[in-house]
Structure 1
Amino acid sequence: MGRESYHHGNLRQALVDATVGLIEDKGPMGFTLAEAARLAGVSAAAPYRHFSGRDQLLEEVARQGFHDFALRLESAFDGGKPSALSAFLRMGQAYLRFASEKPGFYMAMFESGLSITGNADLTAAADRAQDAMQGASAALFERLAPDSRPPARMVANHVWAMSHGVVELFGRGRPGGRAPIGADDMLESGVLIYLRGLGVIPADPTR
């Protein structure tokens, strides 16, 4: 697969795909650029035509991951239909599905120790995901008086942290797998408790 991709001018993507597989097998810090090249079916020198080193290759994996992640979040919110709350909860499920379906990308995005701010394209992709969460958070507060609305960015970051925590608890054979409820229910109940505590939703919301 690697050599065929290379001969068709897709070496860059072949290296990304190989790296995703290596991350899933060994973690984001457990592989070398030479291993990615070998898995892609090219020489150890070939990756340097597209990437200055291993970290830049990881950054491209993370960028593609954030791009897909943002699209999934935006699609899940779907303009806040049929209600901002139900749409917001769908975004949480989309978050968990992404982490489950794209573990190599997820680890590159959140577990590799990369500096997002050092790469403009990566920053833009990550910001798009952040904007999706923040916009959805703001939509929850539209019925409240302006001076009663909690900061949308704060809420987005809190729910993002909660979502990440659920992924870490339940992912890859971790202790959450033995919990009496699943990851989806854990996240949804946590978000509802949090939003009720802020006074954003009533005790028995209509979705």
Structure 2
Amino acid sequence: MSGNAQGGPQRGRYHHGELRPALIEASFDLLAEAGPAAFSVARVARRLGVSTAAPYRHFADRDHLLAAVATRAAEELAERFRQAADGAGQDPAERFAATAGAYVRFVGARGAGFDVIFARPLVALQDRGLADAGRRLVDLLFELAQDALGQGPAAALTLLEQHVTAAHGYATLHPGGLFSRVSPREGVDGTADLAVATSRALVRGAPDAAAAGPTSSGRPHD
């Protein structure tokens, strides 16, 4: 790819219909490098070598661009979860635990996790595409949690909350090298292994249905 004087892409190289997907993909790169706090439309535009006004022909503001990124992230993450579960074999507990490792690897590569997908400012947009993608993602995890426990929805919801918290914690703390001394494997794969082991332990230590409290309607978002 050719560059401009500053080493970035040439301005004006995007034809009609090409800039929107390029903005979304560049947003992933920025999130992976700098995190949500440093995310801005101007930084994404500079990364692509387009004017800072160009993204606003496709997205009303920062949150609408981030909502498009979050929608794509939810869709990609759901597919990663399916692949991880299928690759773990037939044991329901292992299928569920495998999604924790998939989450750590996904956030390490893409930079957009649950904190982006379910960010409060994005929920306020009431974006139907994002809401639907987020619901499908949670439904998938919830069904895997129910299968892993073989119990009712209340116990599965408790397990799901613990699982998400642990997996996101590993993904968030990994860049600082916190787990490099306790994992036999280096890099994100080592942290992913730890996340899987933690999720596996959560399944084994989950309370029975009687201790989990009254049964809910069957979905965490109802």
Alpha-carbon distance between aligned partners in 2 of 1:95 and 1:199, rounded to the nearest angstrom:
24
- Asked if 2 retains the 8 angstrom alpha-carbon contact of 1:62 and 1:109, the reply is yes
Work out the percentage of aligned pairs sharing the same amino acid.
29
In terms of fraction of residues, the more helix-rich structure is 1
Which residue number in structure 2 is paired with residue 175 of structure 1? 178
Aligned amino acid, residue 143 of structure 2: G
Alpha-carbon distance between aligned partners in 1 of 2:92 and 2:67, rounded to the nearest angstrom:
33
Shift in Å, 1:150: 4.8
Shift in Å, 1:57: 0.9
Alpha-carbon distance between aligned partners in 1 of 2:87 and 2:143, rounded to the nearest angstrom:
10
Deviation digits for residues 121-152 of structure 1, max 9, x if unmatched?
1121121111111000111233x5x6xx7532
Alpha-carbon distance between aligned partners in 2 of 1:27 and 1:55, rounded to the nearest angstrom:
15
Alpha-carbon distance between aligned partners in 2 of 1:117 and 1:154, rounded to the nearest angstrom:
26
Which residue number in structure 2 is paired with residue 15 of structure 1? 23
Name the count of aligned residue pairs: 194
Residue number among 93, 102, 114 corresponding to 1:85 in the alignment = 93
Structure 1 segment 113-192 matched on structure 2, within 5 A: 114-116=121-123, 118=125, 119-142=127-150, 150-169=154-173, 171-181=174-184, 182-192=190-200
Aligned amino acid, residue 194 of structure 1: L
- Asked if 2 retains the 8 angstrom alpha-carbon contact of 1:28 and 1:112, the reply is no
TM-score between both structures, scaled by the size of structure 2: 0.74
Judging changes above 3 Å, is the alpha-carbon distance between structure 1 residues 4 and 17 closer, same or farther for their aligned structure 2 residues?
farther
Shift in Å, 1:70: 0.8
Aligned amino acid, residue 197 of structure 1: G
**Any stretches of 5+ residues in structure 2 without a counterpart?**
1-8, 185-189, 209-222
Judging changes above 3 Å, is the alpha-carbon distance between structure 1 residues 83 and 10 closer, same or farther for their aligned structure 2 residues?
same
Aligned amino acid, residue 165 of structure 2: A
Residue number among 34, 40, 54 corresponding to 1:32 in the alignment = 40
- Asked if 2 retains the 8 angstrom alpha-carbon contact of 1:28 and 1:107, the reply is no
Which residue number in structure 2 is paired with residue 195 of structure 1? 203
TM-score between both structures, scaled by the size of structure 1: 0.78
Structure 1 segment 18-97 matched on structure 2, within 5 A: 18-78=26-86, 81-97=89-105
Alpha-carbon distance between aligned partners in 2 of 1:2 and 1:12, rounded to the nearest angstrom:
16
